Structure 1
Amino acid sequence: MRRLGSSSSGVATRGTSDVDTGLETLEALHRLGAGRLPPTLVDEMAHVQGRARERLARSRDHVVIAVAGGTGSGKSSLVNALVGEEVSAPGVRRPTTDHAVAVTVGEDDRVAALLDWLQVFERRSVPDGRGRSDLDGAVLLDLPDMDSVVQDHWAVAERLIERCDLLLWVVDPLKYAHALAHEGYFARLAHHAEVLMVALNHADRLTPSDRDACLEHLRELLGRQGLQAVELLATDAVGGEGVSRLAERIAARVRERRAPLERLRADVTELISRSAACLPDPERLELDGERLVTAQRQAVNEAELLAGAAGAYRQAGMRAVASPLKRLLGALFSGLRGRPAVTAVATSALPRPKVAEPLLRDGLLQAIEPAAARLPEPAAERLRSLAVTAAVPRAGELRGRLGELAWSPRPRLWWRGVGALRGA
């Protein structure tokens, strides 16, 4: 029994750094998002990270292709046509797919662990040398119908679409524009164009002109969802038209063994995009500078300090221009206290500088609120918490600056002139 690892170990080795980079990016995104982004998005990051690790730990030598579509789209027939054998019962024998069927091309003991993780227990195998050997390593999942009225069918299909490496969506000419596909799933796959293929099946039912019109319209619909780069092919599972071409496209992905890495990269890109969408333009994250300045002035009681400084200036001036007898008595009194007269008068008139931390804290909160209002609630709450924490060191800084100021007024020359005139 041949193992796939012997033929693709080089590919796996080359992809190791890509895997590590993708997982490291996810881990960094999760770490930075915690406490800043919506909890549901952060939880999804952790979920995607765990899912990627589990998937890559099972096997990097297999490519899981989920084949999805609605009732009557011909999923099962297309799976059979791709592998060259009837391995999934289609049509009247199974009008609706009620559970997933796994079809493995090639033999490898490790695929069992992968299918166990996928929770797909109806399994078929096409050994080497039978059917399409160029698909060796492919694991095709024939999913339940996406338009089923049974909720369990939806749950199975969604879970496997989430875990697959490559998604092949099969549409019918009569229902290809169904809103379920385009508004439900395709809208969520805008960053997954590299891991999505679309097959317009039952193409034999259309005339060449109608087929071209359908493909053009379908391409337009995909483009509206950001999926203009998706591979789109017309197929006829019964007659074989387009099947070989589709199989070649899938075989190329299987040979490269890069689909699991591309899926990881697409998931990371989507999460980064959704994270960015939660955050506003940095240019709009402005502080209310006027409110911050006002808060600091209120916290240091600027009006009282200015009034005190003005009072000290007046007292010093009045002292300097007083009569000689008054100046003599003031000098004697100050000399007894050991300091200059002007300084004594000024200091006695000044209030003691202080900083009201509650006023400063409230002012900081009001100053950052315009920015906080534009952030996701976890980030906004984090910003508010930082503002509260910043109030204490900011208050200490203000106290230090106030202490460095020279509050005592400097003597003016004209004071001496006036004083001399009064003494004349």
Structure 2
Amino acid sequence: MTTSAIPAKSPVGTGGIPVPVTGALDGAPGLTDRLDRLDRLVELGTGRLDAPILADAAVLLDRAGQRLRLSGEHTVVTLAGGTGSGKSSLFNAICGLELSPTGVRRPMTSKAHACVWGLDGAGPLLDWLDVDKRHRYARASALDLERADSSLQGLVLIDLPDHDSIQALHRAEVDRFVTIADLLVWVVDPQKYADAALHRNYIVPFARHAGVTLIVLNQVDKLQPAEVDDCVTDLRRLLEAEGLADPRIVTTSAVSEEGVAGFRDVLVDTVAARRARSERLIADVDKVSERFTEFRGAAEPPKGVDEARRTELVQALTDAAGAPAVAEAMESAYELRASDFVGWPVSALITRLRSDPLRRMRLTELRDELRGAFTGPIGAQQGDVDTALQGVTDGVAAELPAPWARSVRAAARSQAAELPEALGDALKDALPSFNQVPRWWWLVKTWQYFLVLVSILGVAWIGLLIAYGLFEVGDAPTGLVGEAGLIPYVAILVVCTLGMGALTASACRNMVALQSAKHGERMEQHMRERIAVVAEEKVLGPVSAELDTYAQFRDNVEAVRGG
């Protein structure tokens, strides 16, 4: 029987990742999709879920990607156990040669030893496993292929150091291999099969890996047949109590070779099925996916913020921005502006003669001041904005898992610092131009100046009648200015004209008052609509996006779990 060391050949692809040897996924077509969904979970959970679970998932994705790129024709089987369990002797018995050192002194195995049946594609795999080149052996000679154990073609059998070794490096080596092996074989002996270190550190944490775990009760040659059954029964009870469902137990003796053939048959079946690689990865995905499940709430997530809370938020932001006060100020400005057009010019002249600089300032600068109020760095007060944001997510986040409730609230406040300025811009853009004057104002203004003209002409006519009719300063050019008896009639005309102008101004003021109230309401509604756009962009949109992210997370959790 011949063995040979595996040559150090390790073709690698871009970035140092081994070149794929086989594209098959060991008959598990759903594995790739589940890994893709797990990758999506990591992406969706970043910044929202606890870092350790995301880190563990990322490590699994990296490990799975590398393992699937390597030989699918080989099955990596590790023999692990405690000091004196006889795993190295069992390793040698399967290999048929003394490849791993055995003896009374403990620990004997300080480095992982690997024996490979079939060299094609094994080199990159062993490089990834980081097995020292001095401890790689191959069963690949023509004589070996003629033997019955050629059915182990594709097996990579690894003998590990003791998991309970006093050497920390030995324990670290075991810890590394148990996370990457396709099939975990734990070799125990009748005296220490209940060893707390084994069960606490390996059996319990990997209880979900029952499908890729095999327990070998070695050294049964030291027991009576009845004692063997009792040990197996007790060991099975212990394993099931620790969560290892339907554990597979094989009894062997490396000394008498009792049960070694049965163990070899298990390895033959495992290698022939070529499912251990994908089953191991599926078990890893199952284990990680369970950790994501606690962050998937039972209740269906809301699609977004309900209409009542949307309305409440817009109203709160409207108040915070001072839109009602702005609308009231613009209503006053509307009335002041209208008085220049529909007011009685005679009254306006008297007012101007009294010189009211405040009114002039309000007429000419009110709108500029209002616009300038929203272009500075303050706008709406930050405290008022923060108060408006407090209640918008209360109902939405109430039934969400804690991390997602926090992320939804954070999304609502993600642009809180930008809200005051955005609200100020919205109000500024909503302010109308003072150059827009209703047509009827111009008609009234024309009518009023016509009445003023008639009044002036009437007064002039009376003056001419007094001059020519009463004082006879000269010959009257016409009878209309020489008849003093026309003075009362012309005076009545002037009084009626002035009265008509005053009545027109009074009626128009009532109309302006009604229109200014409507103008203020339209202004406030217009500002509310602009603020609603800001609320959607800065608050409601991010909240809806976060809820959509959570919905995707829930769907991907189900897909990763195989639901």
TM-score (norm 1): 0.70
Partners of 1:25 and 1:268 within 8 A in 2: no
- Counterparts of residues 214-225 of structure 1 (less than 5 Å): 214-225=231-242
Asked whether the equivalents of residues 172 and 202 of structure 1 are also in contact (C-alpha less than 8 Å), the reply is: yes
Q: For residues 290-301 of structure 1, what are the structure 2 equivalents within 5 Å?
A: none
Question: Which residue is 1:412 aligned to?
Answer: none
Deviates further, 85-94 or 247-256: 85-94
Of the three residues 129, 139, 146, the one matched with 1:126 is 139
| Distance across 2 between alignment mates of 1:283 and 1:390 | 28
Identity of aligned residues (%): 36
SS at match of 2:402: coil
Matches within 5 A, 1:79-90: 79-90=91-102
1:197 and 2:214 correspond: yes
How is 1:321-336 mapped onto 2 (pairs within 5 angstroms)? none
The 3 A distance-change label for structure 1 pair 297 and 204 is: farther
Q: 1:94 to 1:305 in 2, by over 3 A?
A: closer
Counterpart CA distance in 1 for 2:255 and 2:296 is 52
What are the residue-to-residue correspondences of 1:274-353 with 2, within 5 Å? 274-277=291-294, 279=295, 281-283=297-299
User: 1:372·1:383 contact (CA, 8 Å) conserved in 2?
Assistant: no
- Return the match for 1:386 from 406, 411, 428: 411
In structure 1, list runs of 5 or more residues that go unmatched: 1-8, 307-332, 338-353, 406-424
Is the partner of 2:94 in helix, strand or coil?
helix
| Deviation for aligned residue 1:68 | 0.6
1:313-361, Cα deviation, whole Å (9 max, x unpaired): xxxxxxxxxxxxxxxxxxxx9x968xxxxxxxxxxxxxxxx98774454
Is 1:78 paired with 2:90?
yes
1:180 and 1:152 map into 2 onto residues whose CA distance is: 16
What residue in structure 1 maps to residue 525 of structure 2? 403
Separation in 2 of the partners of 1:250 and 1:258? 12
Rounded to whole Å, the distance in 2 between the matches of 1:168 and 1:234 is 12
Q: Which amino acid aligns with 1:248?
A: D
Given that residues 297 and 400 in structure 2 are in contact (C-alpha distance below 8 angstroms), is that contact kept between their aligned partners in structure 1?
A: no
Query: CA RMSD of the aligned region, Å?
Result: 4.6
Q: Is 2:53 the partner of 1:41? A: yes
Question: In structure 2, do the counterparts of structure 1 residues 297 and 254 end up closer, same or farther at CA, with 3 Å as the change threshold?
Answer: same
Local SS of the residue matching 1:25:
helix
- Within the candidate set 255, 263, 267, 1:238 is matched to 255
- Contact kept, 8 Å, 2:78 with 2:185, in 1: the verdict is yes
- 1:142 corresponding residue in structure 2: 159
Cα 1:16–1:273 change in 2 (3 A) is closer
Equivalent pair of 2:115/2:156 in contact (CA under 8 Å): yes
Q: Is the 8 A contact 1:84 1:132 kept in 2?
A: no
Retained in 1: the 8 A contact 2:25–2:68?
no
Looking at structure 1, the residues matched to 317 and 24 of structure 2 have their Cα atoms a distance apart, in angstroms, of: 63
Q: Distance in 2 between matches of 1:39 and 1:117?
A: 26
TM-score by length of 2: 0.54
Per-residue CA deviations over 1:70-128 (Å, capped at 9, x if unaligned) read 001111111122233333222337743111100112x3242122111111121122232
- The residue number in structure 2 matching 1:415 is none
Structure 1 equivalent of residue 223 of structure 2: 206
Deviation at 1:384, TM superposition (A): 3.0
Deviations 1:187-215 (A, max 9, x none): 21122111111111112222333322322
Residue-by-residue CA offset, 1:380-422 (whole Å, 9 max, x unaligned):
65333212148789x98xx9997289xxxxxxxxxxxxxxxxx
> Match for 2:80 among 68, 71, 90?
68
| 1:53 counterpart = 2:65 | yes
Structure 2 unaligned spans of 5+: 1-20, 325-338, 344-378, 431-521, 528-563
Counterpart position of 1:159: 176
Q: Give the paired residue count.
A: 366
CA 1:296–1:164 in 2, change beyond 3 Å: closer, same or farther? same
Q: Could you tell me which residue of structure 2 aligns to residue 112 of structure 1? A: 123
Between 1:93-102 and 1:383-392, the stretch displaced more is: 383-392
| Structure 1 residue 234 displacement after superposition | 2.0
Which among 263, 267, 278 is matched to residue 280 of structure 2? 263
